[in-house]
Chains A and B, each alone.
Chain A
Amino acid sequence: MKKNTGKDFFIISAAVAGELFQAMRVAEKIALASSNAGVLAFRAGERAAGFGALTGFLAELSKKTGTMANGINQRAIKISQMSSNFLRTDSTIKQMQKVMRDAKDAPYIDSLQMPLENIQESTAREQILFNQEVNKLYSQLLDLKKELESAKIIATMSLVESSQADKEYRAALTDNAVKISDAAKQIETHVDNALALFR
């Protein structure tokens, strides 16, 4: 993972939030598709029982994916806010240091020393919290990626199960399974894009 600076993560966290927002929308699609598939599987009866069982997993998985993505999105927004605060603090420190150099003969120049030290100390504390948040964000993205592996496997199994159904329902079930599989891949792409921002 790249070295953290407020300036980098001001942009990165906003981009991660953007990717995860897209991922959440796709997760909603999976939830809808798996719900439709569940109804179809019920109608298709005994021969689509395997598919029906999988749709329950998918629904649960899409819900979990949505929740995880939302959590990551919230953290990314928080990091973005922390980053913008960092930029302001950093700018204050630089400008105060400049004044201490340029106006060193001013009668009350020493009065800047303590506020400057306080700002620097508080920034150091904030930097630790900031790094923790960034590490958590990265871990959450990796966790989400693992969950998506399961989603992809289930989506592939659904595709196999759909081929077992009666002809009347086969095409519709296959179509749903493909939609679910594609959506899982789309989410994975968004998560990979988000992870790539850290490298």
Chain B
Amino acid sequence: MICQKIYSDVKHQWFVFGRDPSKPNKIIDTNQYMIKTSKNAFLMDPGGIELFAPMLASIVKEIPLEQIKHVFASHQDPDIISSLGLWDKALTDATLFAPRIWEGFLRHFGMETMKFKGIPDEGDKLNIDGIQLQFIPAHYLHSSGNFNVYDPEAKILMSGDIGAAIEPVDAPMEVEDFDAHCKFMEGFHRRWMPSNTAKSNWVERVSKLEIDMMCPQHGRIFTGDNVKRFLEWFDKLEVGSAAIS
């Protein structure tokens, strides 16, 4: 599994994990993210049960395991968090931050040790060693209870399934040619995103944020002007329509 540091300053670093060559073929490729601060680590969308071992192996290359005190699940899907039952055993002092409405569902993956902090619909903030993170509501994009993580200091938005692309496991980690990349995103967004209203509302809110990097859970990271290009493209895209056509 590739582990790449995508941001670094004196207080914290961002890592992306993905493009796992050992993953079974029929499992969708996913990106996992981690923020490392001086004393803590924040693991975002840690992935499916099949990814537990490769993720663990990649993480201990960067931090000691006990540093992970915070885990985040943007929503309840298996590719996001079906590894929960195993992390629950491996992490001795961690809290899972996830949409409040999904608690009863997420516990089906097995959660006895980990604490649960439900994120209210309107969003929330989390301070880790002076890094103020924001849970940005992204409901119905695609899940009915769904959040992004925004780091105003690094200007990074972890956007979950928004901006996702379905492409081969060896695809580059960063979007280079936005127009060429659209074909990998269109079908996914038209089919998985059910609400134009939710989409427009999200685009409007997120457009006001300063974003240097938008990091989806599948596909490639958007940097620089490609973030703005994505927001414009997504705003115009008719979603929830794939099933009709």
A residues near B, CB below 8 A?
Answer: 85, 88-89, 91-92, 95-96, 98-99, 102-103, 106-112, 114-115, 118-119
Beyond A91-B86, A99-B56, A103-B60, whether A115 also contacts B65 by CB under 8 A is yes
Binding site of A, secondary structure by majority: helix, strand, loop or mixed?
helix
Across the interface, name the chain B residue whose C-beta is closest to A84.
B110
Mark each residue of chain B from 75 to 113: 1 if its CB lies under 8 Å from any CB of chain A, else 0.
000000000011001111000000000000000001010
Instruction: Check: B126 CB closer than 8 A to any chain A CB.
Output: no
Instruction: Check: B208 CB closer than 8 A to any chain A CB.
Output: no
Contact yes or no, A108 B64, CB < 8 A = yes
User: What are 25 residue pairs bridging A and B, where the CB atoms are less than 8 Å apart in the complex?
Assistant: A88-B85, A88-B110, A92-B89, A95-B52, A95-B53, A95-B86, A96-B53, A99-B60, A103-B57, A103-B60, A103-B61, A106-B61, A107-B60, A107-B61, A108-B60, A108-B61, A108-B62, A109-B60, A111-B60, A111-B65, A114-B66, A115-B90, A115-B91, A115-B92, A119-B89
Instruction: Check: B63 CB closer than 8 A to any chain A CB.
Output: yes
Chain B residues whose C-beta falls within 8 Å of the C-beta of A109 in the assembled complex: 60
Contact yes or no, B57 A119, CB < 8 A = no
Contact yes or no, B61 A92, CB < 8 A = no
Chain A residues whose C-beta falls within 8 Å of the C-beta of B65 in the assembled complex: 108, 111-112, 115
Contact yes or no, B86 A88, CB < 8 A = yes
Across the interface, name the chain B residue whose C-beta is closest to A91.
B86
Across the interface, name the chain A residue whose C-beta is closest to B63.
A108
Chain B residues whose C-beta falls within 8 Å of the C-beta of A99 in the assembled complex: 53, 56-57, 60
Chain B residues whose C-beta falls within 8 Å of the C-beta of A112 in the assembled complex: 56, 60, 65, 90
Chain A residues whose C-beta falls within 8 Å of the C-beta of B89 in the assembled complex: 88-89, 92, 119
